[in-house]
Amino acid sequence: MTAQEEAAVQDEVTAMEEAERRLTLDRFGNDDAWRLGSLLVGLARERDAAVTIGIRRGAQRLFHCALPGTSADNDAWIARKCRVVERYGESSFLVGARFRAKGRTFEESSRLDPDRYAAHGGAFPLRVRGTGVVGAVAVSGLPQAEDHALVVAGLERFLADS
């Protein structure tokens, strides 16, 4: 990796870390999951994006919606990306970027089963102020940077409306 590529990846990591600090919630309950999930469905429809959206709090699935054009593969991707959030307490995209910043891949270096874990963009921690990570919100169906961006846009709008 060239010095310029390393700098670009580090800038990406820094921006994602800042977004995770900024997108902290005051609370997160079942009704909040419904509002956030519905908001994400609306954003996806506005963009004509064929995605699946999932929200979990702990081991409980609170929201799930598969828009037309998706398949069971998207469900599997959501599960794999959410496991990364659960294990690392950070977005799946940030975890993957940190490995790339070190010149490694998550699949080769994490020692985790790639059939169960995917450090690809699209799963984001639901972090509650004073509590920590309580769950994850995830999108699957777009290229990983776009999955991540959709979740971030949804959380930004959710917080602005709260």
| Structure tokens that stand for 29 in this block | 């309950």
DSSP 26: S
Q: Give the span between the Cα atoms of 152 and 124, in whole angstroms.
A: 8
CATH number of the domain within which 61 lies: 3.30.450.150
The whole-number pLDDT of residue 95 equals 96
Average pLDDT over residues 37-60: 97
44 has a pLDDT exceeding 80: yes
5 has a pLDDT exceeding 80: no
Average pLDDT over residues 49-73: 97
Closest by Cα among 52, 49, 43, 47 to 74: 52
The whole-number pLDDT of residue 66 equals 98
The whole-number pLDDT of residue 6 equals 76
pLDDT tens-place string over residues 82-139: 999 999 999 999 999 999 888 888 998 999 999 999 999 999 999 999 999 999 999 9
| Structure tokens that stand for 154 in this block | 């949804």
3-state helix, strand, coil in the chain (%, to 5): 55, 20, 30
Number of domains in the chain: 1
Show the domain range for 104. Answer: 3-161
Question: What one-letter code names the amino acid at 123?
Answer: A
130 Cα distance to chain centroid? 21
* Residue 111, helix vs strand vs coil: coil
Residue 56's pLDDT band, with cuts at 50, 70 and 90, is: very high
The whole-number pLDDT of residue 9 equals 79
| Structure tokens that stand for 17 in this block | 């870390």
pLDDT tens-place string over residues 9-36: 788 889 999 999 999 999 999 999 999 9
Instruction: Enumerate residues 6+ apart whose C-beta is below 8 A from 2.
Output: none
Look up the pTM and report it.
0.93
46 has a pLDDT exceeding 80: yes
Count other Cβ atoms within 10 Å, centred on residue 70: 18
Average pLDDT over residues 143-148: 96
Backbone angles phi, psi at 63, to 5 degrees: -155, 140
